[in-house]
A and B are shown apart, each in its own frame.
Chain A
Amino acid sequence: MTELRYKKTTEFDEEVYAVHPEDYRALLEALKAEGFDYPRSLTGMDTGYGLRVVVHLYGIESGKKATVFTDVPYDDPVVPSVTDLWPGLEWFEREAFDLVGIRFAGHPDLRRILLEEDWTIHPLQKRYDTGGYPLPDWQPAPWPETPPWEEPQASEEGGEA
């Protein structure tokens, strides 16, 4: 796991991995091999400069908890799917696609799950207001100079834009 680009911190009682999107799947494969067999949750969120996928894992035997997250830009929000590792994340990935707009490459059935098929927007993005209408003066924040998975000089990881 040495060549993977990620940064590991400990928040409260769980290990938080900020990982480069290209190494996202490799890190999760490694974690699965390490014994994180129970998928707790998968979340998509809008950070203001891009979209983020957060995976919460748990080891039934070890009792260890891990959180993995990665950021992708708005114009190309593609993340490899991990449903083959944890089939339980299938609907969570569909939900993240539906509400936040992250595409999961390799997902067997990436359709909208909560909203109707004829929706064109992903309402949990910050560019839309609560009613689903675009905010007129919304601008994406610039991509951070030190992404969360790089060792920063100053700010703590997980800082929001």
Chain B
Amino acid sequence: MRNPTTIEPVPGRTDEMIINMGPQHPATHGVLKVVIGLDGERITRAVPHIGFLHRNHEKIEEARTYTQIISYTDRMDYVSGLQNELPFILAVEDLLGVEVPPRAKLIRTIFFELFRIASHLVWLGTGMLDLGAITPFLYTFRDREKILEITEKTAGARMLPNYFTFGGVRRDVHPDFFKDVAAFLDFFETRLPDYYALVLDSPVFQARAVGVGVLSKERAIARGASGPVIRASGVPYDVRKAEPYDAYPELEFEIPTREEGDVYARFWVRFREMEESVKIIRQALEKVPKTGPYKGKVPPRVKPKPGARYRAVEIARGHLGAYVVSDGSEYPARIKHRSPSFANLQLIPDLFVGARFADAIAILSSLDPVFGEVDR
């Protein structure tokens, strides 16, 4: 029987080598398999296969109560765990009609942006590891550790904190929280120039990244790409501006965009996003009241009224949506998580074909997929 996950050789063509990249390849950031046809070092065909990490969250969640589901949403994009809770919570809050106190909104926003920095740091480290530089990896993970420590002090866990909840956050922040976050921002701003020196300004990196994996504006929109990928192609689409949630309407920030659409532009956009996150957190730290309610009034048994709601947030990888269909009972009728990496990975055939094999690695790391979220 033909293995359904390979591609057939072209009859009469002997110069094409078909090679399986993954699911256990070092550069696939998890369990992606791309079947690649290689002509020398040039890619002639690329067929991605996903699903190696599929757990059918959506079916499991139909058998869980709304409160229990929050801890499952964490497990989608485990690199930016806390961010994944928000679209589901926003959708259920809409259905419940819960009012979120402003302090809770600001705390959520601070955590949300902290996790964006954390996630981008992981991306930066592993992306540079793919390009052959080991040192930035160690630096970024050390910086990320500080965010995780801050999170652990307040939320009780490092990567998958299960901290947001309907109507606010689960518990009040630790007394040191605001001080710690401010200290981290000061520290992080001293580290950013180092990353610029090691990555964006490095001529070797520029040689690898400029003009590689160019994605046009039209293609990016049509393929449903989101996050830094679409913004690097010149589309200023950011859910934080398009449909603001939490405290974002009151905060000022830019959406960094770049027209080139190549790997360098995607790296650049993520770098600038980290700077914008620092700005956002600083504003939020100024605005947030030191004390006050951290959670709105939510009934002990969460039973939204029948209806359906789609809400989206801008996580580190892009547009993460949650479509919640309630039938009025304690259990949801259907939950769909629209994950950004899932849509972004559709670009693999577009971007890989015609590139060199080493470029494919750079392109993949610039797409920054996380497979917990792709396969769900």
Contacts and interface: CB of A to CB of B under 8 A. Distances in A.
B195 interface: no
B221 interface: yes
Contact of B224 (A54, A67, A89, A159): A89
Interface string B130-141: 000000000000
A104 to B, nearest CB: 15
A40 B338 contact: yes
Interface stretch (B52-60, B68-76, B175-183, B360-368): B52-60
A130 B63 contact: yes
Among B224, B333, B338: residue with most chain A CB under 10 A? B224
Q: Which bracket fits the contact residues of A?
A: 35 or more
B51 A86 contact: no
B157 interface: no
A65 B310 CA distance: 10
A8 interface: no
A40 B56 contact: no
A124 B4 CA distance: 23
Interface string A126-161: 000010000000000000000000000000001110
Contacts of A111: 4
A41 B222 contact: no
B323 A117 contact: no
B236 to A, nearest CB: 9
A37 B307 contact: no
Interface in A85-123: 86-92, 95, 99, 111-117, 123
Interface string B256-296: 00000000000000000000000000000000000000000
A13 B243 contact: yes
Contacts of B221: 37-38, 60
B58 A11 contact: no
A34 to B, nearest CB: 15
A14 to B, nearest CB: 7
B7 interface: no
B346 interface: yes
Given A40-B224, A40-B312, A56-B310, A114 B321 contact: no
Contact of B308 (A40, A41, A92, A158): A158
Nearest to A158: B308
Given A40-B224, A88-B223, A158-B307, A99 B56 contact: yes
Interface of A: 11-14, 37-41, 43, 45-47, 54, 56, 58, 60, 63, 65, 67, 86-92, 95, 99, 111-117, 123-124, 130, 158-160
10 cross-chain pairs, A with B, having the tightest CB-CB distances, nearest first? A88-B224, A41-B338, A114-B51, A43-B336, A45-B334, A160-B327, A88-B223, A114-B54, A117-B4, A39-B224
Given A60-B221, A67-B308, A114-B54, 18 more contacts: A11-B308, A11-B309, A39-B224, A43-B336, A45-B325, A60-B237, A67-B310, A86-B222, A86-B224, A87-B223, A87-B346, A91-B345, A92-B342, A114-B56, A115-B51, A117-B4, A123-B59, A160-B327
26 contacts: A38-B221, A38-B224, A40-B310, A40-B319, A40-B321, A47-B333, A54-B308, A56-B323, A58-B242, A60-B235, A63-B243, A65-B310, A86-B224, A87-B222, A88-B223, A88-B343, A91-B343, A91-B345, A111-B4, A114-B51, A114-B54, A115-B54, A117-B5, A158-B307, A160-B306, A160-B333
